[in-house]
């Protein structure tokens, strides 16, 4: 719809090639990713912030505009912004003037004019982030909190941080992502980030109905056999079946046999590398895409993914505001 605008991977860089918005992990270089992961890692260890830092952030305002439901992403952006000392406003879209016909861009412009320095946006329609960054990106920072089935860059970054904490190096890793790939913005961003960080192989396992149309990168391999996909994997990530997106396109899918055919189970994990970790971006449907007790097992880093979401979002907000305002 808004394809005539500049590509988001270029739009998010300033004239010095520094990150000025966060719209996508596509084409974001390794140095920029590592800078965010390194800073986030520091925040996981220490939650102390100096008075000088607090002074810089105290009059800055972050606005959360979530046009789709969220628990983890919205709350962690709010905690991250408050940790830095920013003001936070959460726009209640259901009771906003959007319901009186105000357009997305007029809503975004209004929030920016009211004083927001950063707009954190989740939207179900592709290219909306690009539209906002093109229209008002000069006046405020735009951060993608989940765009259609296309991208979720901060989720990709927190997945990378979690893997790096467990595996130390990305080289030689086999990462397997199982589930509803075609409706998953997480799969795309995480696979883009993993490719940039130099993993050996990304196996994308799904029912045929949910395979990806486009190849994300040269290290990605599409499979429909879950056992083959899990064999010797170092990281195994399960994805939710996104009924809301499936229904919206008029498709149908029943999860009746899904657990048997694609579910991540203790038994199946015996095929993976002995020290393999289990991930899930959430929200989980226990005993549909993942055996409930496996999600709670020592191999699972799912709750750490959630906690790392705060650290990554602190680093992202910090870096973008400092590069824009200092």
Residue closest to ligand CP when measured from CB atoms: 73
Which two tokens mark 223? 């499979």
In angstroms, the CA 107 to CA 1 distance is 18
CB of 311 to ligand CP, least distance (A): 15
The residue written with tokens 């946006």 in the block is 121
Q: Which is nearer to ligand CP, 115 or 283 (CB)?
A: 283
> In the complex, what is the shortest distance from the CB of residue 271 to ligand CP, in angstroms, rounded to a whole number?
26
Contacting ligand CP within 109-148 (CB under 6 A): 146
Nearest to 144 by CA among 165, 128, 163: 128
- Tell me the closest approach of the beta carbon of residue 281 to ligand CP, in angstroms: 4
Q: Does 222 bind ligand CP (CB under 6 A)?
A: no
Quote the CA–CA distance of 226 and 35 in Å, as a whole number.
34
Backbone angles phi, psi at 167, to 5 degrees: -110, -5
Distance CA 203, CA 224 (A): 10
Instruction: Determine the interface stretch with ligand CP among 32-40, 69-77, 205-213, 237-245 (rule: CB under 6 A).
Output: 69-77
**Of 85 and 282, which CB lies nearer to ligand CP in the complex structure?**
282
Bridge-based pairing state of the strands 220-223 and 87-91: unpaired
283 alpha-carbon distance from chain centroid? 13
Distance CA 311, CA 76 (A): 9
Per-residue binding letters, 257-286, with ligand CP (x by CB under 6 A): ------------------------xxx---
Q: Does 90 bind ligand CP (CB under 6 A)?
A: no
Q: Which of residues 146-165 bind ligand CP (CB under 6 A)?
A: 146, 155
The residues of the shown chain that bind ligand CP, judged by CB under 6 A, are 70-73, 146, 155, 281-283
């Amino acid at each position: 719809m808004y394809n005539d605008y500049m590509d988001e991977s270029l739009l998010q860089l300033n004239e010095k090639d520094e990150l000025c918005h966060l719209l996508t992990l596509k084409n974001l270089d390794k140095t920029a990713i590592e800078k965010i992961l390194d800073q986030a890692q520091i925040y996981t260890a220490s939650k102390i912030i100096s008075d000088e830092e607090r002074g810089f952030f105290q009059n800055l305002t972050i606005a959360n505009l979530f046009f789709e439901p969220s628990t983890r992403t919205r709350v962690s952006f709010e905690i991250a912004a408050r940790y830095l000392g920013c003001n936070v406003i959460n726009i209640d879209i259901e009771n906003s003037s959007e319901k009186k016909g105000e357009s997305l861009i007029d809503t975004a412009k209004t929030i920016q004019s009211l004083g927001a320095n950063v707009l954190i946006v989740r939207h179900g329609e592709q290219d909306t982030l690009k539209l906002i960054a093109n229209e008002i990106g000069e006046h405020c920072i735009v951060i993608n909190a989940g765009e259609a089935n296309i991208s979720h860059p901060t989720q990709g970054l927190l997945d990378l941080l979690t893997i790096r904490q467990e595996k130390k190096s990305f080289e030689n890793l086999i990462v397997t992502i199982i589930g509803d790939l075609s409706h998953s913005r997480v799969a795309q961003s995480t696979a883009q980030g993993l490719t940039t960080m130099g993993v050996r192989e990304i196996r994308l396992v799904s029912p045929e109905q949910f395979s990806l149309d486009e190849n994300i990168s040269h290290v990605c391999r599409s499979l429909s056999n879950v056992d083959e996909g899990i064999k010797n994997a170092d990281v195994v990530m399960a994805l939710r079946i996104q009924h809301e997106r499936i229904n919206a396109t008029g498709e149908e899918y029943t999860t009746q046999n899904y657990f048997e055919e694609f579910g991540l189970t203790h038994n199946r994990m015996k095929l993976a590398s002995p020290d393999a970790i289990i991930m899930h971006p959430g929200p989980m449907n226990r005993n549909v895409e993942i055996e409930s007790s496996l999600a709670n097992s020592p191999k699972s880093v799912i709750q750490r993914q959630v906690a790392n979401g705060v650290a990554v979002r602190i680093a992202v907000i910090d870096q973008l505001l400092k590069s824009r305002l200092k």
